[in-house]
């Protein structure tokens, strides 16, 4: 259909962004034929109320640096700029307003997030507004993952695709722990992000 574009939205805390996020987004872009992927760092994530998350501005800066060299990747500060807790339903409505009916939105998640989708604000309405694509993730794939996908499809008519792409064993938690323990984080995230972390003394005293 002429003028019809496919947009991926990669939402995350990105504390920090790493090659897992980037490799998954690029592979999904290729597999699904997305025109672009917009990375949306969370502002105040409601599900991490009790955790000590790095400032939104530092997380946004790291995402900007990480995606800079990919012409198909963009960054949106819409959640970082929003007052109060940030919810995906508001973000998807924001992109619907911008791109209108000419776009199909695909929200990209990892397998760990799939099991939490029914706890999200207005998730039933969200399922009517965008498709979901889940990347497999080591340690999160078992019988219950696939039965949850079937449940979401059957019960809520969710359009949710499991991406057939290689798994990447990298997490932000592991990166933060390595920094705290004085270990190397080389090859887990782009060098420009690594430099940003050390220049700004991030995660050295992380209590997560
Ligand atoms: N290695 C990975 N493979 C597939 N999906 C991933 C991977 N890392 C993160 N994701 C997905 O990216 C989104 C944002 O993740 P997030 O920024 O919380 O990273 P994380 O590595 O899971 O962080 P943390 O270890 O702090 O929980 C989530 O949907 C998550 O499932
Ligand atoms: O909208 C919600 O209620 C909601 C609840 C929990 C998580 N999310 C979104 O899920 C995405 C991944 O979150 P996280 O914690 O795995 O980085 C991120 O974009 C969050 O805003 C959204």
Q: Is the distance from CB of 96 to CB of 129 less than 8 angstroms?
A: yes
Residue nearest to ligand 2 atom 4, measured at CA: 120
**Ligand 1 center to 18 CA (angstroms):** 9
> pLDDT per residue over 40-94, tens digit each?
999 887 776 667 899 999 999 999 999 999 999 999 999 999 988 899 999 999 9
**Ligand 2 center to 31 CA (angstroms):** 23
Residue nearest to ligand 2 atom 13, measured at CA: 12
Q: Is the distance from CB of 196 to CB of 62 less than 8 angstroms?
A: yes
The residue ranking higher by pLDDT, 32 or 85, is 32
Question: Nearest CA to 161 among 114, 112, 116, 115?
Answer: 114
Verify whether ligand 1 is closer than 6 Å to residue 171 (CB atom). yes
Domain 5-169 class, CATH top level: alpha beta
Verify whether ligand 2 is closer than 6 Å to residue 121 (CB atom). yes
Separation CA 196–CA 202 (nearest Å) = 8
**Ligand 1 center to 20 CA (angstroms):** 7
Greatest distance between any 2 Cα atoms in the chain:
53
- Looking at 157-203, list the stretches that DSSP marks H as alpha helix, in order from N- to C-terminal side: 172-180, 191-199
**Low-confidence winner among 20-29, 46-55, 116-125, 126-135 (lowest mean pLDDT):** 46-55
**Ligand 2 center to 88 CA (angstroms):** 7
**Ligand 2 center to 28 CA (angstroms):** 19
Verify whether ligand 2 is closer than 6 Å to residue 190 (CB atom). no
> pLDDT per residue over 143-173, tens digit each?
899 999 999 999 999 999 999 999 999 999 9
Reply yes or no on whether the pLDDT at 1 is more than 60: no
Separation CA 10–CA 8 (nearest Å) = 6
- Nearest atom within ligand 2 for CA of residue 40: 19
Instruction: Kindly indicate the confidence band of residue 21, based on its pLDDT and cuts at 50, 70 and 90.
Output: very high
Separation CA 168–CA 138 (nearest Å) = 7
List the domain boundaries for the chain.
5-169
């Amino acid at each position: 259909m002429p003028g019809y574009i496919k947009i991926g939205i990669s939402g995350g805390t990105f504390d920090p962004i790493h090659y897992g996020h980037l490799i998954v987004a690029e592979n999904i872009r290729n597999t699904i034929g997305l025109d672009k992927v917009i990375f949306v760092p969370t502002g105040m994530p409601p599900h991490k109320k009790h955790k000590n998350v790095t400032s939104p501005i530092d997380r946004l800066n790291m995402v900007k640096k990480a995606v800079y060299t990919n012409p198909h990747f963009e960054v949106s500060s819409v959640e970082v700029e929003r007052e109060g807790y940030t919810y995906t339903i508001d973000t998807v409505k924001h992109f619907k307003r911008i791109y209108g009916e000419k776009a199909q939105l695909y929200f990209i998640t990892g397998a760990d997030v799939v099991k939490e989708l029914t706890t999200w604000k207005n998730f039933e309405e969200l399922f009517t507004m965008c498709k979901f694509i889940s990347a497999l993730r080591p340690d999160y794939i078992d019988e219950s993952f696939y039965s949850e996908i079937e449940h979401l499809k059957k019960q809520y008519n969710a359009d949710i695709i499991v991406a057939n792409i290689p798994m990447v064993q990298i997490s932000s938690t592991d990166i933060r722990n390595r920094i705290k323990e004085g270990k190397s984080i080389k090859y887990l995230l782009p060098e420009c992000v690594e430099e940003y972390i050390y220049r700004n003394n991030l995660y050295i005293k992380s209590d997560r």
